[in-house]
Amino acid sequence: MFREMRRKKKEMDRSQAESLLEKSRRGVLAVNGDHGYPYAIPVNYFYDRENQRIYFHGAREGHKADALRANDKVCFTVYGNERIKKEEAWAPFVQSTVVFGRCHLLETGETAMALLKQMAMKYYPTEQLVDEEIAKLGKVVQVFEIEIEHMSGKEIQER
């Protein structure tokens, strides 16, 4: 169902693709937006490697939530790990991971709040700050879950 990578030499193995997904701080979520136009937005997220899920948060209402209610198919992309080889300093290498999957809103409750806390721990320096933020905003935040159907990664040289 999903396309094979055309330039196999550039393909990263699954472990490398997952490592980039774990380490990156922001990803771009693409959904089918209003009137069939793509809608792509950067989001903070948490990757659960064991369960093959990506979690992010957002408002209960708005363009993103409406788009996901209408069509749960998404694409999620991260990129980074830029590195330069001395012989070609003008043309860095960069890695990317692209995920296709189905996204849905999680019901509010203990599970959603535990996932929200786990995600926040990736970004906040202390658990105390996370707990304070969740106490303030936890009731208005919705947790979204992407069930991964396909993942690929590649490394290219930007030249």
* 80: region left, alpha or beta (phi > 0 left; psi from -120 to 50 alpha): left
pLDDT at 112 over 90: no
Confidence of residue 52 (pLDDT cuts 50, 70, 90): very high
Beta strands in 67-113 (DSSP E): 73-83, 93-105
pLDDT at 69 over 80: yes
- Predicted confidence (pLDDT) per residue in 136-159, tens digit: 877 778 899 999 999 999 988 877
